[in-house]
Amino acid sequence: MDEQFLVLLIDDNPINAQVLEGYMAGLPVKIITARNGLEGLNLARKHLPDVILLDVLMPGLNGFEVCDEIRFNPITGNIPVIFVTSSEEIKKDILSQPHSLPDGLLFKPINKTDLLIHIRSLMRLSATRSKMQQEIDYLQNYCRRLETTASSSLEGLSKTEEMSILLLANLAEARDPSTGEHIHRISKYARLLSEQLLRISPDLQQYITDSYIDSLVMAAQLHDIGKVGIPDNILNKPGRYTSKEMQIMKEHVIIGGRILNSAISLYGEKSFLSMGMKIAMYHHERYDGTGYCEGLTAQSIPLCARIIALADVYDAMRSKRIYKQAMSHDDVRKYIADDKGKYFDPLVVESFFNFEDEFKNIFDQTSV
């Protein structure tokens, strides 16, 4: 590893801290310690450790409160937290109290093997993320080089845009493993829906051109790019969100809009990124105005976002997630039918019904 793995140990008992430090003495790690929750939070923000070993029962801020502060701070939100406690009741408290969940749990007296398994696993994860970041940096630099050489060539500009969407789409995939095949299926659904919309509503010919469909297929992959700004513990939480967590999760549409707005400053309003920004910001709007982030209704929701809204819901409901089981095609079909004119644009729903077998085949052929 190029940089030493950093462990922050927060425990009001110096003897416990010394024991843990001794167990990790043979590992290539650096350990910093805090004697209370407030000091620990300050050190976490200052040093951004690779993992935090957090005592739960401390005077002042307890472990739950410290964990909450760590999770909801965008600077520290992705740092893994392992609770260290002597209380078996903590298991019940973790599930029953409205607090953030830790990434691991160790009971005192600490078993050295259990501790080292946790630390070594997180060290491997840190190394993997570091390598992933290097690959992302390489792609970003490559995009900049393409942008430089594309200044006198439309063909070069096209290559730059294609490289950009691959980069951004893979950023989303790297943060949330479940989105890998999902984003590719969304593109296929988007083409089916847009082509069928032309057949059932000729009035849309002035909007849905061949170039519109091509842009939609590419831009669809960016619908959840804003999730790169959501902390891992919320993005991959195995249970229901608290109201506070749900509000943070909803911010992905705003984050996505900002990311793509910055990209538009490089490539211009006429690129697929403009459509991608509309999709990222508005694909959670509902036809009846009860969605987010702006509560838009009906035709005020961009057409591209109305199309992706149905495609995204279909695929998400058919997919198994850590917090839910997969639904059958027939069950999802009924949900979409029931929400026609409420969640979904009635014309988009009609387009789906005309091609629902193709939807089912796309999902069945690519899902695991």
Residues forming the active site: 227
Alpha-carbon distance of 329 to 16, in angstroms, equals 54
- Is residue 100 within 8 A of residue 71, CB to CB? The reply is yes
Residue 272, Cβ neighbours under 10 Å: how many? Answer: 25
DSSP state of 344: B
Contact present, 353 and 347 (Cβ < 8 Å): no
- Between CA 331 and CA 313 the distance in angstroms is 12
d(CA 145, CA 143): 5
Contact of 278 with 305, CB cutoff 8 Å:
yes
Token pair 């200052």 is at which residue? Answer: 46
Q: What is the CA radius of gyration of the chain?
A: 24
Cα 288 off chain centre by: 26
How far is CA 310 from each of CA 91, 253, 321, rounded to the nearest angstrom?
Answer: 39, 16, 18
Structure tokens at 314: 């279909």
Pair 63, 56: CB distance under 8 Å:
yes
Q: Which two tokens stand for residue 139?
A: 């792609």
* CB neighbour list of residue 49: distance below 8 Å, 6 or more residues apart: 6, 7, 8, 32, 43, 79
